[in-house]
Structure 1
Amino acid sequence: MRAFFLTDHDTPARLSDVAIPEPAEGEIRLRIAACGLNFADLLMQKGTYQDTPALPFVLGMEVSGIVDATAPDVKGFAPGDRVAVFGGQGGLADYGCFSAARAVKLPDTMGWTDAAGFQIAYGTSHLALDHRARLQPGETLLVLGAAGGVGLTAVEIGKLMGARVVACARGADKLEAAKQAGADHLIDAETGDIRAEMKALGGADVVYDPVGGDQFTAAFRSCNPEGRLLSIGFASGDVPQIKANHLMVKNLSVMGLYWGGYLAFRPDVLTGSLAQLMAWHGEGRLKPHISHVLPLERAAEGMELLRSRKSTGKVVITVADL
């Protein structure tokens, strides 16, 4: 089978011919239809992601496809089932073996490309805003990196939860994508003054930050008393340093969110969140934004779209027309 294989962290991954894997205990094998790309895939290529697998491995964290085979001990899944899986690796290939515990069956209303780019982006934003920050109707939510894979979902979910949403992104095209996702106010990260513009809007109650760096600092300074700042990632490459005494002055809370980590210690929280999100999608209340759909042969091009920040929403790689 074809697989986008990484053999070392100094050489780009490349499409290779490898053997079709056999499912181990607790696993299902998928005939993969599509794979969503994530910023973490870029970090894995460099070996800097917190959950980078041991070399060599196949890139691709989240997939959709049809169950092709199951290990004898697997219950609840059978060949022919349509599923999505957050596997953490192995998605950019014709076939992949994944833990059945990480698989969710797809509703008939969800297509392969939506399913492949749904779990991480929507799951991250929903857990962050609902479970961690306890976002309330009428509060003001500031979303940094608002046109990215997770940023757009934060705009969409924040609006669905009843917040007033302020989207911060770079350039008119990305701001327009955020506006279409439901943003009430827009801030251009290239030309705007985040702190001043947020102060003019009455300040932020919740900040959703997948960017870090100077944008985090400006957003921090624009928070209202008892504001909550969600640290989602550091696309800028700059991890902010926080002075604890500054938290005290306004009674602020800074909290991290690593979506995949819930699989280890609170899987019920994660699966409950996904059930809610799948229901919203089925009701037509969530509309995934996928800016690029590319075939497996162009997976490297998809990675470059993420690296150069030329995409909005998700980039999805199609593997097979199932």
Structure 2
Amino acid sequence: MLRVVCTEFGDPGLLTVVEEPTPAPGPGEVLVEVGAAGVSFVDGLIVRGGYQVKPPLPFTPGSAVAGRVVAVGEGVETCPVGTAVAASVTGFGGFTSHVTVPAPLAVPLPAGVDATVAASAMESYATLVFAVTQRVTIEPGERVVVLGAGGGIGLAAVDVARSLGARVVGVASSEEKRAAAKAAGAEVTIDYTDLKDAVRAATDGGADVVIDPVGGPAAESSLRALRAGGRFCVLGFASGEIPRLPANIVLLRNRSVIGVDWGDWAREVGGPEGNAALLADVLGRIGRDELHPPRPSVAPLDEAGAVLRLYAERRVTGKYVLVP
């Protein structure tokens, strides 16, 4: 088997690919031949040592895989050999050609959902489906503003909000990213120029919900653009700057600030089984054509470092997967 290895925290260019024996599944496990491994902005933060979770070195990055079961361990009655599955890899390890996972955590892929789409959609769409099922309610007709709308998490936010009947405004920094947001279901797209006024103009006076995976100065501007009772959802800080939101603006007009941390929920409250159920929900919505993830860009394992640099430089529209 092949896998990407991080031996020291730092530039993703330090990642290497090693070849070693393919593992055998233990009792209750399945061995998945990885067809695609999802890549995210967070993977780059982890490799640099800049994320709140620091795995012990050396480690293999990546948390989302999709592929085919090629061997099963003792006691496994579900997921027979040949089953197409997706799985969140506990403790990282997804940038690889083969990985063992507990059988209950291997979610069968619905018909028509291929490995590249599943792997690219798992983390971003799980975050958004978690958000709208457990953290914030979006009603049909509400005006939802998505910052960073051309990135992987932003496009998922546009798509999920659209599927709930919201009227979506996508905010993105380039024409290419705004076009991608439009294709995902945004009714209107804008850039970051005079953001508070631009959001109010695009939403007839103010947004009901802002989804912010970006942070930085755009956060306060869009918070100020919320209408009465508006909800501001914090998903991350892709800009590299954590904003200091003014509490008086939250107080005025009964606004709310809501944290959305799918990863923490999956590790703690939901646990692996709850997370597997959430992924099954996400993949089911994709299989039923309720959600429409765009096809990702594809790169081989030995380009993992280059892809993570693209994410860090915010030069990725949509998502990438690594294909062993």
Do structure 1's residue 137 and structure 2's residue 134 form an aligned pair?
Answer: no
Contact kept, 8 Å, 1:3 with 1:17, in 2: the verdict is yes
Do the aligned partners of residues 22 and 8 (structure 1) sit closer, same or farther apart at CA in structure 2, a change above 3 Å counting?
farther
3-state SS of 1:76 partner: coil
Aligned equivalent of 2:306:
301
Do structure 1's residue 112 and structure 2's residue 115 form an aligned pair?
Answer: yes
Aligned equivalent of 1:260:
263
Residue by residue, what CA displacement relative to the aligned partner does 1:67-121 show, whole Å, maximum 9, x if unpaired?
2233324442322221101115211111112233432111121111111112111
CA distance in 1, matches of 2:66, 2:150: 23
3-state SS of 2:315 partner: coil
Aligned equivalent of 2:200:
199
Contact kept, 8 Å, 1:292 with 1:311, in 2: the verdict is no
Residue by residue, what CA displacement relative to the aligned partner does 1:209-254 show, whole Å, maximum 9, x if unpaired?
1000101111111111111111111101111223333322121111
Do structure 1's residue 9 and structure 2's residue 13 form an aligned pair?
Answer: no
**C-alpha deviation, 1:273, in angstroms:** 4.1
**C-alpha deviation, 1:139, in angstroms:** 0.8
Do the aligned partners of residues 69 and 53 (structure 1) sit closer, same or farther apart at CA in structure 2, a change above 3 Å counting?
farther
CA distance in 1, matches of 2:103, 2:277: 17
Of 219, 222, 227 in structure 1, the residue corresponding to residue 225 of structure 2 is 222
Do the aligned partners of residues 266 and 246 (structure 1) sit closer, same or farther apart at CA in structure 2, a change above 3 Å counting?
same
3-state SS of 2:101 partner: strand
Which AA in structure 2 matches 1:134?
T
3-state SS of 1:236 partner: coil
Do structure 1's residue 90 and structure 2's residue 64 form an aligned pair?
Answer: no
**C-alpha deviation, 1:316, in angstroms:** 1.0
TM-score, structure 2 normalization: 0.91
Aligned equivalent of 1:166:
169
Unaligned runs of at least 5 residues, structure 1: none
Contact kept, 8 Å, 1:122 with 1:150, in 2: the verdict is yes
Contact kept, 8 Å, 1:204 with 1:224, in 2: the verdict is yes
Do structure 1's residue 22 and structure 2's residue 27 form an aligned pair?
Answer: no
TM-score, structure 1 normalization: 0.92
CA distance in 1, matches of 2:53, 2:23: 22
Do the aligned partners of residues 31 and 7 (structure 1) sit closer, same or farther apart at CA in structure 2, a change above 3 Å counting?
same
3-state SS of 2:282 partner: helix
3-state SS of 1:265 partner: coil
Q: CA RMSD in A?
A: 1.9
Query: Which shifted more, 12-21 or 147-156?
Result: 12-21
Residue by residue, what CA displacement relative to the aligned partner does 1:180-208 show, whole Å, maximum 9, x if unpaired?
1110111112xx21100112232111110
Which AA in structure 2 matches 1:266?
G
Do structure 1's residue 148 and structure 2's residue 147 form an aligned pair?
Answer: no
Contact kept, 8 Å, 2:37 with 2:322, in 1: the verdict is yes
Aligned equivalent of 1:102:
105
3-state SS of 1:158 partner: helix
CA distance in 1, matches of 2:15, 2:279: 31
**C-alpha deviation, 1:272, in angstroms:** 4.8
**C-alpha deviation, 1:24, in angstroms:** 4.2
Contact kept, 8 Å, 1:26 with 1:71, in 2: the verdict is yes
Aligned equivalent of 2:54:
52
Number of residue equivalences: 317
Residue by residue, what CA displacement relative to the aligned partner does 1:35-58 show, whole Å, maximum 9, x if unpaired?
110111101101222333211111
CA distance in 2, matches of 1:65, 1:105: 10
Aligned equivalent of 2:64:
62
> Aligned residues: percent identity?
36
3-state SS of 1:234 partner: coil
Do the aligned partners of residues 51 and 290 (structure 1) sit closer, same or farther apart at CA in structure 2, a change above 3 Å counting?
farther
Aligned equivalent of 2:129:
126
Contact kept, 8 Å, 2:79 with 2:106, in 1: the verdict is no
3-state SS of 1:225 partner: strand
CA distance in 1, matches of 2:281, 2:53: 26
Aligned equivalent of 2:78:
76
Alignment of 1:233-252 (within 5 A): 233-252=236-255
**C-alpha deviation, 1:133, in angstroms:** 1.2
3-state SS of 1:141 partner: strand
